[in-house]
Amino acid sequence: MLLAIAAYLCSGLALWAQASDSQTDEANKSWTATTESQSDNVNPTRTIESHTQSDNRTLDKQSVQRRGSDGHFEPYQDIEKETVQVDAATVRTTTRTFGRDADGVKTLVEVIEEEKHILPGGDSKVVRATSDPDANGNLQLVQSRIEETKRTSKDVEETKITVMLPTINGGLVPAVRVQERLELDANGTVESQQTTLLPDGAGTWQVEKIQRTTTRQEGDNRRTEEQVSLPDSEGKLGEVSRTVSNEAATPSLKWSDVDFSSLELNVVRSIYLRMIGNCKTEDSRKPVPLDAHVAADLWVWKEASKYSKSGDWIFASPHTQGKYPFWPDILLLKIIQPAARRAGIKKRIGWHTFRHSYSSLLVANGENVKVVQELMRHVSSRFTLDVYSQARKAAKRQAQQRVVQMILPKNFDDPVPEILLEGARNYAE
Buried b (16+ CB within 10 A) or exposed e, 300-319: ebbeebebeeeebbbbbbbb
What element of type H or E holds 116? strand 106-118
- 61 or 284: which leads in pLDDT: 61
Q: Please tell me the distance from the alpha carbon of residue 138 to that of residue 364, in angstroms, as a whole number.
A: 65
* Extents of the domains making up the chain: 1-42+252-349, 185-248, 396-429
> What is residue 195's predicted lDDT score, i.e. its pLDDT?
95
Residue-wise pLDDT for 120-166, tens only, equals 877 999 999 999 998 888 999 999 999 999 988 888 999 999 999 98
Give the best-scoring range by mean pLDDT among 335-344, 350-359, 365-374. Answer: 335-344
Cα–Cα distance between 265 and 256 in angstroms, integer?
9
- Of residues 52 and 67, which shows the higher confidence score? 52
- pLDDT value of residue 149: 93
| 408: Cα separation from own chain's centroid | 53
pLDDT of residue 220: 52
In 168-285, which ranges are E strands? Answer: 172-184, 190-199, 205-218, 221-231, 237-248, 250-251, 258-259, 264-265, 269-272, 275-278
175-178 LR contacts (CB < 8 Å, sep 24+): 175/199, 177/205
pLDDT band at 83 (very low <50, low <70, confident <90, very high): very high
Is residue 209's pLDDT more than 70?
Answer: yes
Strands 258-259 and 250-251: unpaired
- Dihedral sign, Cα of residue 371, residue 374, residue 376, residue 378: positive
Domain 185-248, CATH 2.40.30 — does that match?
Answer: no
* Distance (Å, whole) CA 391 – CA 360: 7
Q: CB–CB of 144/129 below 8 Å?
A: yes
pLDDT band at 407 (very low <50, low <70, confident <90, very high): low
In sequence order, what are the residues at sequence separation of 6 or more whose Cβ sits closer than 8 angstroms to the Cβ of residue 97? 77, 78, 79, 108, 109, 110, 111
CA distances to 226, 240, 257 from 235, rounded to whole Å, are 22, 14, 57
Q: How confident is the model at residue 10 (pLDDT cuts 50, 70, 90)?
A: very low
Three-class DSSP category at 283: helix
Lowest mean pLDDT among 106-110, 293-297, 332-336: 332-336
Mean pLDDT of the 92-97 span: 95
Question: What is the model's pTM?
Answer: 0.54
DSSP classification of residue 207: E
